[in-house]
Structure 1
């Protein structure tokens, strides 16, 4: 309630009017700005505004929307993509097959993305052929067609580093030929990859495209002004859809915290944003600005408490299960994110909204349930040799106090509230726990580096696809973000009713499987491992709270039941870009 009071006293009741043809949002970017996608912070909010994928995929409807590509065709292990004839970089040069090949090479080299692509062939200047070592299934198509990384490394800008990137990409593909079969790659290869990556990054880090006036965009907007507090984009003068666009400028104010975004919404300083917002503030924002509306589609992602498996403490399944029972997940949801869908008694990492689609009631009944039950948590610990001292703290079987921190991004108010509630609940149970606030700009890096005990993160996230393979790849996949954060041993076998299974291999099978029934069976196996071995504990399904001005400053938003809103999770700017570039979103009046 303190936050509400402060915001109320500082807002300006009269909305700030945008300039004609301007759209205003909030976002983030590294500062000083460098514009290099391979440096810390990457390109920030320019990711979706300035760079374009081949297509958009609408999870709620299954619709494909051509963007940089005008068409594509998949046959077995190959996919041919035809680029738009009028696709150009913001400096006026054609976007060609050579640029796509360059981009894929850099991704394979630096980010180890798309390693199943054995080669990309140039058929002509506007046609590329992807040759895969595996069948290009729908999940693979989504992964290839919907990522803007395919068009953010123009050859005429990054060509000087291409030979080194090609050498590294080739080695990484060779390593993948081992790891994709569950085999360990020769140390000679992994060492060579690490050394080449270090050399390539060291050279690339000296390149600052923004400072050198070499930042070129493939997408609708190009940054023109970058300050610490605001980033201004103008229309790419060579963009293929520029003639349809009624909005010529996008102004992005710094998203320093949810509090700051709430203040901007109340003051009418921005036209759309999606901060997690308490109910009283939500009502206040909409009362002060009658044109502001709220839509809450599924964000296709869970908030979760994740464990650091590098630490022996969290390698004990008994402790992880005790934590699951000691958490009142409904209360966490109620205090942290009132608009969310509650995760109740499972930890299977199938998003609650889609649970009935993928998991039968018969299967769910076979899973361990984790309702709020502190007595059950205590029973599990005692059976495993833990003891509770006279000081009220639980101790491990070797007599050490169970002590850890809950790390959280300091600029995500909903996460902070959740972390503090989790900390308090676990303290009350008898663990020695503290909340550790980390700045957003270092949060992901510190987590990937193992500098935490437990942390608040998105667990299962189906962004961009609405498919469980995306969430499980994030948790168990070789390059999955949560896999890297937790260091969960997903490449090892786990006992299941189907025998010993390796989750990393199951994820690969799920990505390649096309038969609907077989995919469900694979999801059940991954759900079982998730639920019984607890790499993380999900506590709510986020429903993204999108505030948008309809009629006051801009107009043309879809109806609230339109499947297009499902474009928002994992990259809301692409939703804005689609509406602007089709001419649907335009200035009001």
Structure 2
């Protein structure tokens, strides 16, 4: 295949919100081999027991004609099965229907092979070896052609780093080689490739979409890929397939063709809609469900739940941030760096975390756009990178230095115009609302005329630029965001097609900030340095990260506030559950990964 020149599709965020985790930052990366966990459990019988399925990978277990009850995060009218390539909202069942290339242990920071049993990054060659016994639910083998089709769909819809993918070579049915245009950072390659979900197949409709995008270099293919709304998965590569969907629920059924099907001893997995956190809490307290993938659950709610609920906590690598609108017409005050810095000083991040639930939240030590729990690994926290937590007094100093004065109402103003704005927050995300309820009075006390605005259509509001300050994730999420490249790339323009109009998102644009050593200023071509980071490793990569982190710290395209600790739940009332320290309890998500390794099995009523 001849080289294809990619154009970065910064606005297509569907794939980037789903793909990628972290690997080791070395010149040549080799994974281990294996087929996941070997410790499949044994079924426990009741009158619903069936005949055992299984093999040496999963052990033998009876398959019971029962339904495990879970919850859906959104109404059925919003959901479809184009989950890998389209944007929010995404159906939770995608984690069951589409096999992940590899699973990332969020606590131990290591990969566990799944569909891709081993891989390597050597110079400009990436090699993916597919698990030999893995088939789709229709019995067809998952082949190198299928992996190629799926990868190209992700590239077309905006996967980070897509511009360096050059060509594909199917060595055999189970081995795919990918050539890149230059040597690349192995960690970023792993992030980009290994957390893909295998939704596509080199068959209709993906074969035509592949041809149009990769071979014919046709424009507009991304919107065609993302605009599809299939009501059932096109191809099931995961351990459960979708059986039905109606106005109230979707039902998934065990896929007996999956190589780990012998580890699953229940036939169905149901996802009714329990809207919002309140609905989830009521369902857990009332034991109406057996699992829930993710639910913010404060300690007072946990106290009302039965002891048979097992909680799983692991780093989320995302959380509450506040995106600033940098468009001078839409946000004449907040588009000024001094105002953003004053806001940053005025917001006490530790107090916000305490209000929002400190047991599952972590405050950012500095406003640099690097995950809070890894900042110490990359930058000089509290030294060269100060916390910027000077409170209302420091905020006043910054505002006055910028030419603002308080008016008769006690609010900051310039030339008769008051610094007035709303902080927009998604109304159904209760912990984000709570966090913002803590932020707003801090800003008011610092002299800003500000109110909170709870909206149901936050993506539309932000996507259309109709905001001044909005509560939005500070990263694209998932374990990849433990590597600085991904959150930095996010805040510098990839987020929501640069709906915040950050000037550094433009190719060639220079952002001038105070010099890191305190002597004068420095100008940084943000996009070029991101490209440089994508190929660097070791000390060179760390130096680039520090430079970009400094720009984010000083210029504040976003204000990261909270790093979330995920909460996932399995009830042992009818199911077995892995120990919270088990690898199956430290992945996204235990409720979907534990069944495939035999650690969430039906125990009976």
CA 48–546 in structure 1, closer or farther in 2 if over 3 Å, else same: closer
The number of aligned residues is: 526
Q: Which residue of 1 aligns with 2:204?
A: 156
Is residue 2:522 matched to residue 1:469?
no
Is residue 2:96 matched to residue 1:49?
yes
Q: Secondary structure at the match of 1:243?
A: helix
8 Å CA contact 2:144–2:175 kept in 1: the answer is: yes
Is residue 2:371 matched to residue 1:373?
no
Q: Which residue of 2 aligns with 1:3?
A: none
> How far off its partner does 1:150 sit?
4.7
Aligned partners of 2:109, 2:437: CA distance in 1, in Å? 39
Deviations 1:431-474 (A, max 9, x none): 222222222xx433432332222111221466223322232232
Aligned partners of 2:129, 2:440: CA distance in 1, in Å? 53
Aligned partners of 2:75, 2:172: CA distance in 1, in Å? 36
CA 77–39 in structure 1, closer or farther in 2 if over 3 Å, else same: closer
Aligned partners of 1:219, 1:449: CA distance in 2, in Å? 36
Aligned partners of 1:272, 1:380: CA distance in 2, in Å? 49
Aligned partners of 1:86, 1:332: CA distance in 2, in Å? 49
TM-score (norm 2): 0.79
Q: Which residue of 2 aligns with 1:383?
A: 401
8 Å CA contact 1:302–1:351 kept in 2: the answer is: no
Is residue 2:540 matched to residue 1:518?
yes
Q: Secondary structure at the match of 2:149?
A: helix
Aligned partners of 1:236, 1:19: CA distance in 2, in Å? 14
Q: Which residue of 2 aligns with 1:348?
A: 368
> How far off its partner does 1:163 sit?
2.9
Q: Secondary structure at the match of 2:134?
A: coil
Is residue 2:577 matched to residue 1:556?
yes
Q: Which residue of 2 aligns with 1:284?
A: 304
TM-score (norm 1): 0.81
> How far off its partner does 1:140 sit?
2.8
Is residue 2:369 matched to residue 1:323?
no
CA 153–298 in structure 1, closer or farther in 2 if over 3 Å, else same: same
Partner of residue 267 from structure 2, selected from 244, 248, 260: 248
CA 130–235 in structure 1, closer or farther in 2 if over 3 Å, else same: same
Residues 146-545 of structure 1 mapped to structure 2, 5 A cutoff: 146-166=194-214, 170=217, 193=219, 196-197=220-221, 201=223, 205=227, 208-210=229-231, 215-273=234-292, 274-285=294-305, 289-310=306-327, 311-343=331-363, 346-360=366-380, 364-395=382-413, 397-439=414-456, 442-460=457-475, 463-465=478-480, 466-476=482-492, 480-481=494-495, 484-491=498-505, 492-493=509-510, 494-495=512-513, 496-497=515-516, 499-515=522-538, 517-545=539-567
CA 470–60 in structure 1, closer or farther in 2 if over 3 Å, else same: farther
> How far off its partner does 1:167 sit?
5.2
8 Å CA contact 2:70–2:269 kept in 1: the answer is: yes
Q: Secondary structure at the match of 1:300?
A: coil
Q: Which residue of 1 aligns with 2:55?
A: none
Q: Which residue of 1 aligns with 2:602?
A: 587
> How far off its partner does 1:136 sit?
4.0
Aligned partners of 1:435, 1:94: CA distance in 2, in Å? 52
CA 247–501 in structure 1, closer or farther in 2 if over 3 Å, else same: farther
CA 226–585 in structure 1, closer or farther in 2 if over 3 Å, else same: same
Is residue 2:123 matched to residue 1:108?
no
> How far off its partner does 1:258 sit?
0.7
Aligned partners of 1:293, 1:85: CA distance in 2, in Å? 34
8 Å CA contact 1:222–1:233 kept in 2: the answer is: yes
Partner of residue 28 from structure 1, selected from 74, 87, 102: 74
Aligned partners of 1:152, 1:29: CA distance in 2, in Å? 25
Q: Secondary structure at the match of 1:268?
A: coil
Aligned partners of 1:238, 1:325: CA distance in 2, in Å? 56
Q: Secondary structure at the match of 2:385?
A: coil
> How far off its partner does 1:366 sit?
2.3
Deviations 1:225-250 (A, max 9, x none): 21333221112232222122223322
> How far off its partner does 1:368 sit?
3.8
Q: Secondary structure at the match of 1:297?
A: strand
* Structure 2 unpaired stretches of 5+: 1-63
Aligned partners of 1:337, 1:42: CA distance in 2, in Å? 25
> How far off its partner does 1:45 sit?
1.6
Aligned partners of 1:484, 1:219: CA distance in 2, in Å? 34
Aligned partners of 1:376, 1:368: CA distance in 2, in Å? 13
Q: Which residue of 1 aligns with 2:172?
A: 124
> How far off its partner does 1:128 sit?
1.4
> How far off its partner does 1:539 sit?
2.2
Partner of residue 139 from structure 2, selected from 88, 92, 104: 92
> How far off its partner does 1:33 sit?
4.8
Q: Which moved more, 1:157-166 or 1:410-419?
A: 157-166
> How far off its partner does 1:316 sit?
0.6
* Structure 1 unpaired stretches of 5+: 1-17, 172-192
8 Å CA contact 1:339–1:545 kept in 2: the answer is: no
Deviations 1:338-385 (A, max 9, x none): 324442662123333223333345xx3123432252122112112211
More helix by share: 1
> How far off its partner does 1:291 sit?
0.8
Q: Secondary structure at the match of 2:157?
A: helix
Q: Secondary structure at the match of 2:560?
A: strand
Aligned partners of 1:367, 1:41: CA distance in 2, in Å? 34
Aligned partners of 2:593, 2:87: CA distance in 1, in Å? 27
Aligned partners of 2:141, 2:212: CA distance in 1, in Å? 24
Aligned partners of 1:275, 1:203: CA distance in 2, in Å? 30
